[in-house]
Chain A
């Protein structure tokens, strides 16, 4: 079956195409070159005057794993207040800030997103995460396995094990947890919390293992690079949310000694201590550092006002924030003696000085980082805001007068502390396409997604140009997933099941010998039960595993 998309204005930054009118051809779920004239087109879509982009990719969104379920359980009011009735096609669901899995998939697709990556898969809990993602329809998914506070790794560091041994363990973890990258959350800090440390700076020592977060970062970023994984080490740095954490973040950028690092939700790590209230924006310094350091990329983790819930593996920082919970309840817990978890509901308010400034800091970072290939659009769903607010965020980036209107409604003290109103930059459609498509695919290591070249998967989103970018991006005309039309006029018209993307670097299998002994002695699970098989993901025909090649960090294609 040959499908033709005729006459759309195409934004495909991976190939340097910036609003060029062209036809696209799809066969068997892939984009193909222009066929011979005598080949019959079975279905043609007239996209003249429409904007065509690859399907958007959310490279950091908490859509699976234990903490999301805890958030769901903890917030029955969120689910009661936002029921979604079933339709002919879609099943019922509920939830605004922590929606049910099915609703998550539908809502992403209806916004033109075709992939989302869960950033905190705890290896011993990977099965839960994959089962939840397996229940998330339409979009592709994948995840980053969490290392860095697990005892086995910290023991290796303390014992000054050879880097090759660490590489093998990291590779084994990727295989076992079916992940596409490695994440480190508050390096060493989750473990240090259990030894009664309540803060851990980059060069502070873990009380028991006598290693510092810097050692963790150095070793893991090198392992990721040497294994050839495209996605650089995904770093949730120390001191999240602490005023003055700007210095920690700047030092963290240097900690990997040149190995690539991705600093996630960097807005939460860009705070200074100036002003009467000892809380100020560090956005300028952070953006300057990102501009200078080519090995650094970041996603913003923008906050938007309203009710949400913060769900993180960083039990140390969540424990400190639990007193700010709104509504007043929280869960801070250990998971399987190997990591932590903190879920704290939050309400960001525009009249609150700190919240208003956080909002401005996020936008300042977006606008001051020059290279859209290294800065990514996220709200750290649901930590800054639910993902359904992305169209609003895109409008804030693309429309200066709208942004300034919103800015003038903020807490006045916060306005006085921000330079946002003086920044004139407006993102172009091309830059938005880089941030949410081409750049994200390149960062995660999805070689056949995020672009519209020949051979790419036909994940395509079609919008109607509208000066109101929020309206434009919240309701695409068409969304194609692997060549199938899944959304028309912002409504799901067909439910499909996406792939789970992984990487499988080579490693020395004998690493399992020592690991098995460790699991037998200390863990709640046997080693063989930790490993998630392909069959478990593909069960019921609802998913499949797509292994992305380990070719190292892709270079820009232009």
Chain B
């Protein structure tokens, strides 16, 4: 399989906007052309080869600089938290990042697969509409939230996080699946509109604040604010179906198989048709 590899060779002082480096945009370009592309860094523009060592590995494993090579896989090595907007607007293909990523990882992701082996900054999966973001590490605040000023967050796709996430995960989330294996910060699922958000670890304060619809799946009973209503314990057969659909995911969620939950409805200060389901031991 071919891959185009960007190895970070400087330690950037300013943040670097990596949004031009996606499979669609680099398709059919030679290494020399890619090297000359401009990247914004603060108020300056840098050439790609000022920031990265670029190498293209062909299908046979050797160096391949032919123009028709298939760049459906892009790899970032030695990545740092200064690299923003990795995978912005990606529609297909794969990006794998080794090291940390900056803010807006997978911004407006529309397809393909984006994998991070490290920690992500704020606004990962912001305004995402399809595809898969898999973070082997932690994420900052506003995971899967909306663009600034917008009224809807993530609209589709799957986000898997093995570590912890910051505040406001799933803010204004509209559709899609967000599965967090670690802890979530305050205001988890705030203003959520629809979709499914799971947290296996702890959640912070004001969980489901302003939640309108949607499902928040937890394993531990959170401290809830006054406008979340306890609806008692239930056996919900749909959970078996849902967990069955998660079987194929490379995640601890694939092992879940329970259908006994305590259900909380809310936020009753904002329509109140959202639900928090806390899994109970079988």
A residues within 8 Å of B by Cβ? 73, 76-77, 79-80, 329
Q: Tell me whether B252 is interfacial, beta carbon within 8 Å.
A: no
A433 to B151, CA, bound (A): 45
Q: In B139-186, which residues have CB < 8 Å from any A CB?
A: 147-151
Q: Which residues of B contact A79 (CB under 8 A)?
A: 149
Q: Which residues of B contact A76 (CB under 8 A)?
A: 147-150
User: 9 A-B residue contacts at CB 8 Å?
Assistant: A73-B149, A76-B147, A76-B148, A76-B149, A76-B150, A77-B150, A79-B149, A80-B147, A329-B151
A73 to B150, CA, bound (A): 9
A73 to B149, CA, bound (A): 7
B33 to chain A, nearest CB (A): 24
A77 to B150, CA, bound (A): 8
B residues within 8 Å of A by Cβ? 147-151
Apart from A76-B148, A329-B151, list 4 A-B contacts with CB within 8 A: A73-B149, A76-B147, A77-B150, A79-B149
Smallest Cβ-Cβ distance to B149: which chain A residue: A76
A73 to B148, CA, bound (A): 10
Q: Which residues of A contact B147 (CB under 8 A)?
A: 76, 80
A80 to B150, CA, bound (A): 11
Smallest Cβ-Cβ distance to A80: which chain B residue: B147
A326 to chain B, nearest CB (A): 15
In the complex, which of the residues A73, A76, A77, A329 has the most CB atoms of chain B within 10 Å of its own CB atom? A76
A100 to chain B, nearest CB (A): 14
Smallest Cβ-Cβ distance to A75: which chain B residue: B149
B74 to chain A, nearest CB (A): 25
Q: Which residues of A contact B151 (CB under 8 A)?
A: 329
Smallest Cβ-Cβ distance to A327: which chain B residue: B151
B251 to chain A, nearest CB (A): 33
Q: Which residues of B contact A73 (CB under 8 A)?
A: 149
B66 to chain A, nearest CB (A): 36
A157 to B210, CA, bound (A): 45
Which 7 pairs from chain A and chain B are nearest by CB? A76-B149, A76-B150, A76-B148, A76-B147, A73-B149, A329-B151, A80-B147
In the complex, which of the residues B147, B149, B150, B151 has the most CB atoms of chain A within 10 Å of its own CB atom? B149
A363 to B2, CA, bound (A): 61
Q: Which residues of B contact A80 (CB under 8 A)?
A: 147
B46 to chain A, nearest CB (A): 17
Smallest Cβ-Cβ distance to B43: which chain A residue: A86
A79 to B147, CA, bound (A): 12
B181 to chain A, nearest CB (A): 33
Smallest Cβ-Cβ distance to B151: which chain A residue: A329
Q: Which residues of A contact B148 (CB under 8 A)?
A: 76
Q: Which residues of B contact A77 (CB under 8 A)?
A: 150
A160 to B190, CA, bound (A): 53
B171 to chain A, nearest CB (A): 15
Smallest Cβ-Cβ distance to A86: which chain B residue: B43
A108 to B249, CA, bound (A): 56
Smallest Cβ-Cβ distance to B150: which chain A residue: A76
Smallest Cβ-Cβ distance to A72: which chain B residue: B149
Q: Which residues of A contact B149 (CB under 8 A)?
A: 73, 76, 79
Smallest Cβ-Cβ distance to B148: which chain A residue: A76
Smallest Cβ-Cβ distance to A79: which chain B residue: B149
A76 to B147, CA, bound (A): 9
A469 to chain B, nearest CB (A): 37
A551 to B151, CA, bound (A): 51
Smallest Cβ-Cβ distance to A329: which chain B residue: B151
Q: Which residues of B contact A329 (CB under 8 A)?
A: 151
Q: Which residues of A contact B150 (CB under 8 A)?
A: 76-77
A168 to chain B, nearest CB (A): 44
Smallest Cβ-Cβ distance to A73: which chain B residue: B149
B152 to chain A, nearest CB (A): 11
A77 to B149, CA, bound (A): 8
A329 to B150, CA, bound (A): 11
Smallest Cβ-Cβ distance to A77: which chain B residue: B150
A73 to B151, CA, bound (A): 11
A77 to B127, CA, bound (A): 13
B193 to chain A, nearest CB (A): 14
A79 to B151, CA, bound (A): 15
A329 to B151, CA, bound (A): 10
A437 to B201, CA, bound (A): 69
A514 to B151, CA, bound (A): 45
A76 to B148, CA, bound (A): 7
A80 to chain B, nearest CB (A): 7
A532 to B150, CA, bound (A): 34
A329 to B149, CA, bound (A): 13
A272 to B150, CA, bound (A): 38
B238 to chain A, nearest CB (A): 30
B60 to chain A, nearest CB (A): 43
